[in-house]
Structure 1
Amino acid sequence: VDSYASNEEMYSKLKAGAKGYDIVFPSQDYASIMIKQKMLRELDQSKLTNKGYISPLVLSKATYDPEMRYCVPYYYGAAGICVNKAKATGTYERTWNIFADPQFKGHATMMDDMREVIGDALAYQGHDVNSLDDTELAQAKKLIEEKWKPNLVKFDAEGFGKSFASGDFWLCQGYAEVVHGEVTEDRWENEIDFFIPQEGGPAYLDSMCILKDAPHYELANEFINFIHEPQIYAQFLDAFRFPCSVNTEAGQYMKTKPMYEASQMDNCVLKEDVGEGLDKYNTIWQDIRFSD
């Protein structure tokens, strides 16, 4: 078992000829790429007796493989907003525009991730998080530069959990598990308010896929099916305090309270591979990151 810091690293290793792997867990954009490049082997549907537990809502979002020919959804999630309730000096709106709230000035951070930040601005303004429309992207850029960025300490993809736990950051955009992992459990109730805004935002879907040259194809199919035994999948959810978003039956077997409810992600949209349109995002992001 190997873990990689990003989809890009995993993909690069495989393209460079890494051998011996049976199963990979790519996110939706790289799953789509790997299907197109014939890097994956079709699953043995006769072995996937637990596929009926997969959420229809999640499958409807997996437009690159809605019939699970190559990919079985593993986890569906999204970044959200984390507020330190003990530090907030007043009420606050539960939308992405909370980053314009002056009470958090000098104590707020957003992720150093262009698709997440720009995607949230697009969602707040009622646009598709995968938009390539120049006018919509310009509106998102203006919102971030003029309203959100002035309140931020920095764009931070890695250390925001520790800084939230220490009390330096009161408002963060990020993943719930990062903050909860740094704050001791006895402080969760009084300090952490994590939510995903009603307008939604970018989401990710990690899937289990079998590589074309998998040395243990039959066992790989059996393992994927085993993961989605509801009692087994519930143990995975309990370990990370994740909400039950993929396996519809596992929730009844959970022994812990999730960090947020799966229904908060109903309006989220999967980040797609935007192809050459990514250049637009890169240009906008460079302007945002390095503007005064």
Structure 2
Amino acid sequence: MKKIFLLLALVFTLVSCGDSKKDENVLYLYGWADYIPPEIYQNFEKETGIKVVEDIYSSNEEMFTKLKAGGTGYDIVVPSADYVEIMMKEKMIDKLDKSKLSTLKNINPLVLEKLQYFDPNNDYEVPYVMGATVIAVNTQYVKDYPRDYSIYNRSDLQGRMTLLDDMREVMTSALDMLGYSQNVEDEKAIAQAAEMVKGWKRNIAKFDAESFGKGFANGDFWVVQGYPDNIFRELDENERKKVDFIIPEKGGTAYVDSFVILSNAPNKEAAYKFIEYIHRPEVYARLADILETPSINIPAKGLMKVKPLYEIEDMKNAQVLRDIHNTLDLQNKYWQEVLIAN
């Protein structure tokens, strides 16, 4: 899933990912940019003597392609749920030794349940962050609006709205609005969802996965589908008060990014120590404060000093994107029709 997180000033560069020689004092992590605060790495090294070296990817697809092409030397990867499922099926990740993860008990069961459709006992992943895709509404300009994707049917807002340039996000929301699962195999259902999106397209300014936050902040767009952190980081405190974040009960989507340990990881013991460390309440509270994300760690929630943009409970009905390999090509066929439609 495409996400851009708070800039945190420190970037670690992986210089020897092709070297599989084990060094018990170095842990190689492959993850999203600016996702784990640098101070977390620094404090972990002070306590354990293990240095974390981080390499960055910009999409799940980029990460998966690199690993399948032979990229080695990494210990931990942080994929979204659909790619955890794929990597589990491909036998790319280890089944976890939970006896080495004493802090697993701190994780909110609601988050674990979101992953149990493919991993019933949560044997292959430790959730790190759960977040929502929202509809952000500028209440200064938009009044009396529905709290779901039917807002995109409003022709009076034509040219003032955007949707993500992301087939999975948009098609999943449309299918759910129609009462279908995201992995439905009935072509008529997928075609019906595409027709709904074509209707939405007539009222939006564009499909946008990169600049929606800035466009919303400067008033060009009044309704955008996107990620809350991308939007709020562009706004001051007064401007934030004019924003309504909608996580629709119908059509809503969410992501769960998790730590997984690669089957060919050279330093699995260090990987277990790091994952266990992250879910200490005081550690997780600090990183959640920095990211302004809801705490998936129950005891950490009581230690947070910054109010998150929304709560885990708000995502109870949101669908986590799944591996839809059986229908991916079919959905893409209809998505291309959406993109060229007038």
Q: Quote the Cα distance in structure 2 between the aligned partners of 1:158 and 1:176.
A: 13
Q: Which residue of 1 aligns with 2:191?
A: 138
Whether 1:103 aligns to 2:156 is: yes
2:57 paired residue number:
4
Give the letter aligned to residue 123 of structure 2: R
For the pair 1:174 / 2:226, whether they are aligned, the reply is: yes
2:146 pairs, out of 66, 87, 93, with: 93
User: For residues 225 and 198 of structure 1, what CA distance do their matches in structure 2 show?
Assistant: 33
Identity %: 45
- Aligned residues of 1:123 and 1:200 also touching (Cα < 8 A): yes
TM-score (normalised: structure 1) = 0.94
Whether 1:263 aligns to 2:316 is: no
Could you tell me which runs of 5 or more consecutive residues in structure 1 were left unpaired when the two chains were aligned.
none
The count of residues paired between Structure 1 and Structure 2 equals 288
Question: What is the match of residue 231 of structure 1?
Answer: 282
Give the whole-Å Cα distance in 1 for the aligned partners of 2:173 and 2:299: 30
Separation in 1, partners of 2:314, 2:250: 10
| 1:33-44 mapped onto 2 (5 Å cutoff) | 33-44=86-97
| CA deviation after TM superposition for structure 1 residue 19, in Å | 2.3
User: Does structure 2 conserve the Cα–Cα contact (< 8 Å) formed by 1:124 and 1:199?
Assistant: yes
Cα distance in 2 for partners of 1:276, 1:68 equals 23
1:134 to partner: Cα distance: 2.1
Preserved CA contact (<8 Å) 2:102 2:276: yes
Greater per-residue helix proportion: 1
Contact 2:217 2:231 in 1 (8 A): yes
Q: Which amino acid aligns with 1:112?
A: D
Distance in 2 (CA, whole Å) between partners of 1:93 and 1:218 is 50
In 2, Cα distance between the equivalents of 1:19 and 1:186?
47
The equivalent residue for 1:121 is 174
1:22-101 equivalent positions in 2, closer than 5 A? 22-62=75-115, 63-88=117-142, 90-101=143-154
8 A contact 2:174–2:251 mirrored in 1:
no
1:236 is displaced (CA, Å) by 1.7
User: 2:245 maps to which residue?
Assistant: 194
Which amino acid counterpart does residue 143 of structure 1 have in structure 2? M
Q: Which has the higher contact order (CA 8 A, sep 6+)?
A: 1
Aligned ranges 1:144-159 → 2 under 5 Å: 144-146=197-199, 148-159=200-211
Which SS does the other structure have where 2:306 is aligned? Answer: coil
Q: Does the aligned pair in 1 maintain the 2:148–2:246 contact within 8 Å?
A: no
Provide the aligned C-alpha RMSD in A: 1.5
Q: Is the 8 A contact 2:175 2:251 kept in 1?
A: no
2-structure distance, mates of 1:285, 1:40: 31
- Are the equivalent residues in 1 in contact too, given 2:281–2:299 (CA < 8 A)? yes
Task: Give distance in 1, aligned partners of 2:225 and 2:256.
Answer: 19
CA contact (8 A) 1:242 1:258 kept: yes
Separation in structure 2 between the aligned mates of residue 33 and residue 8 of structure 1, nearest angstrom: 11
Residues 96-135 of structure 1: CA deviation (Å, up to 9, x unaligned): 1111123321110000111111111122222223322223
Equivalent residue of 1:152, what SS? coil
TM-score by length of 2: 0.80
SS across alignment from 2:245: strand
* Residue type at the aligned position of 1:162: K
2:239 pairs with 1:184 = no
Q: Deviations over 1:30-49 (max 9, x none)?
A: 11121122211232211111
Alpha-carbon shift at residue 225 of structure 1 (Å): 0.8
Q: Distance in 2 between matches of 1:126 and 1:30?
A: 25
Residue 160 of structure 1 corresponds to 212
Report deviation, 1:200.
4.4
Q: Distance in 2 between matches of 1:128 and 1:250?
A: 33
Using the TM superposition, give the Cα deviation of residue 70 of structure 1 relative to its aligned residue in structure 2, in angstroms. Answer: 2.0
Residue 281 of structure 1 is matched in structure 2 by: 331
Counterpart amino acid of residue 74 in structure 1: Y
Unaligned runs of 5+ in 2: 1-53
Question: For residues 92 and 27 of structure 1, what CA distance do their matches in structure 2 show?
Answer: 31
Letter in 1 for 2:118: Y
SS at 2:147's partner residue?
coil
Matched-pair contact (CA < 8 Å) for 2:172–2:251: no
Residue 2 of structure 1: SS of its match in structure 2?
A: strand
